[in-house]
Structure 1
Amino acid sequence: MPKTFQQIESYYAGAYWGPRKESPEECARRAEAFLSAVANVDVSFSRWFQQGKSRKDALSRPIEPTREALEKLIGRGRDRQFEDLGYSVWAWNGVCVDCQDIGLNFSCGAYSEAVSNVCVCTLPTRGPNSERVLSVPVLTGLLRSMVLAWEPDFALATSSMLHDKVAPKNSAETFMGWLMYFPRSRGTVPPLPAPVRIEPMEDKGMLVILTPDLLTVSNPEHVELAQRVHGLLDRAGLLKPIITP
């Protein structure tokens, strides 16, 4: 009989915001604030390296989390053809070979109406760091670092497979997640069923935590809860697209 392969559930955290024209200096100020804050959340986020031709090459290219160094790095990440696409930086955290890397990408300063600015971390699903990182306290700290530094229109930490289970096909709306941040300008978060928690994110907006446990689409209760909450958030107008197609 043919073998069947189960898709591995992966996780990421991301902040997203619409067109915002910013200089390399302004982007560097935000990047410095983010890297400084996230380094205190977990040791996995305490150091970063530029991408290289090999692991050895990348490890020889550490990212200095100072505004001056980041401004130079961001300036080198300018789109060479279209100025309105802003700047992009790709990095990884240089963990051991037997562990799973954490990747980081931020694109900022874009003011094209066709693209959004982002700050995204891919998260470990195996290795000694995964259980610690994939927890509500760490992910809350990660999102808080993103929110306070980048001031996004939306942020979340989630399983990459949840969107396909919950959102309508061909939907352009903001996607459903395990943890979701909504700025006050986006609207009011409605009452949500237990075990969902709603917490303030400083004075910026509200954080919605779907479940205190590791969210996985293999758990039908998690999927059912996500579908219920998706409907409530959608009716409240919180899942409208960041950029209208």
Structure 2
Amino acid sequence: MRGDFYIGAYWGPRKETALECARRAELFFHMLARYDPTFTQWYRRGRGAPRELPGHPVRQVVEEWEQLFLRGMNRTDATRKVMEDLGFRADVWNAKTSERTRIELHCGEYSPFGPGNTCLFHPPHEGPTRERILSAPVLAGVLTSIATAWDPDFAMASSSEMVDLIQKRKREVRVGWLTYLSRRLGTVPPLPAPVRIEPVGTLGWLLILSPEPMTASNPEHVAFTARIRELLDRAGLIERPEPGPVRE
């Protein structure tokens, strides 16, 4: 599958400590490791990393993630003062080459004026690993892991090209080949075949529009994705409310 394909998960202000974010990260990467052998070891940047490795290995324990998030606290440009309400960031990957998967995490933000909390999953640019990951079963597993660990308002697997064609408003729930919707948004209406609707615990629903990849280069795929977006919009699930009170 060509194009800038990614998974994006998004949620509003939620005040959490580095330790609380670390617990979520530990659960997320533990679940993620079930879905592909390349998801078992991750690396971070930093001086002194062994040359033969993609970076410093990240141990999948809470203590390691807590320190990683603390190093990724947002600071002012001039005084380097910590801006606590903007939360924590971490960026990890699993290989050196174009076949690496990269994950960007931003959590613990509780400012209504910040960019928002996110989990962004970027698969390899090319190679057999990319083709293996960009399948409905693996992507469903990744989205389920994200939803269970991070409890986002919504998440989707799509290409940037498809998002540009489908999204109508700057601030709205994005619909992709696979889409996760939290129960906080409302109730998912009946949707036409071949859409599959699967519960993710008690948190929300996973919508799989097709067992085959949905691409922006196929007019039928674009039209069907737009139709699903319209049905969800009619059900009140697309428009995102402005950030409200901080979620503890």
**TM-score, with normalisation over the residues of structure 1?**
0.90
The 8 Å contact of residues 45 and 55 in structure 2, kept in 1 or not, is answered as: no
Residue 83 of structure 1 corresponds to 84
Deviations 1:112-149 (A, max 9, x none): 10231111110124201122100111001101111111
Distance of aligned partners of 1:55 and 1:210 in 2 relative to their CA distance in 1, 3 Å threshold:
farther
Shift of 1:17: 0.9
Gaps of 5+ in 2: 77-82
Distance of aligned partners of 1:33 and 1:243 in 2 relative to their CA distance in 1, 3 Å threshold:
farther
Distance 1:219 1:87 in 2: 38
The 8 Å contact of residues 10 and 123 in structure 1, kept in 2 or not, is answered as: no
| 1:140-159 correspondence runs (5 A) | 140-159=140-159
Distance of aligned partners of 1:69 and 1:13 in 2 relative to their CA distance in 1, 3 Å threshold:
same
Please say if 1:30 is aligned against 2:24. Answer: yes
Distance 1:34 1:143 in 2: 10
Shift of 1:102: 0.9
Out of 5, 12, 20, the position equivalent to 1:11 is 5
| 1:190-201 correspondence runs (5 A) | 190-201=189-200
Distance of aligned partners of 1:210 and 1:55 in 2 relative to their CA distance in 1, 3 Å threshold:
farther
Residue 163 of structure 1 corresponds to 163
Distance 2:152 2:41 in 1: 23
The residue type paired with residue 150 of structure 2 is: W
Out of 58, 61, 66, the position equivalent to 1:66 is 61
Shift of 1:58: 6.1
| 1:1-245 correspondence runs (5 A) | 9-52=3-46, 56=51, 59-81=54-76, 82-94=83-95, 97=97, 99-114=98-113, 115-168=115-168, 170-241=169-240, 243=242
The 8 Å contact of residues 161 and 217 in structure 1, kept in 2 or not, is answered as: yes
Gaps of 5+ in 1: 1-7
Distance 2:55 2:10 in 1: 30
Shift of 1:65: 1.1
The residue type paired with residue 138 of structure 1 is: V
Shift of 1:229: 0.7
Distance 1:52 1:243 in 2: 37
Distance 1:217 1:241 in 2: 24
The 8 Å contact of residues 17 and 242 in structure 1, kept in 2 or not, is answered as: no
The 8 Å contact of residues 153 and 242 in structure 1, kept in 2 or not, is answered as: no
**TM-score, with normalisation over the residues of structure 2?**
0.88
The residue type paired with residue 108 of structure 2 is: G
What count of residue pairs does the alignment treat as equivalent? Answer: 235
The residue type paired with residue 90 of structure 2 is: V
% same residue: 45
The 8 Å contact of residues 24 and 149 in structure 2, kept in 1 or not, is answered as: yes
Give the root-mean-square deviation of aligned CA atoms.
2.0
SS, match of residue 74 in structure 1: helix
Distance of aligned partners of 1:55 and 1:112 in 2 relative to their CA distance in 1, 3 Å threshold:
farther
The residue type paired with residue 64 of structure 1 is: R
Distance 2:107 2:243 in 1: 19
Distance 1:9 1:57 in 2: 30
Deviations 1:80-128 (A, max 9, x none): 2322110000111115x3x522111101110010231111110124201
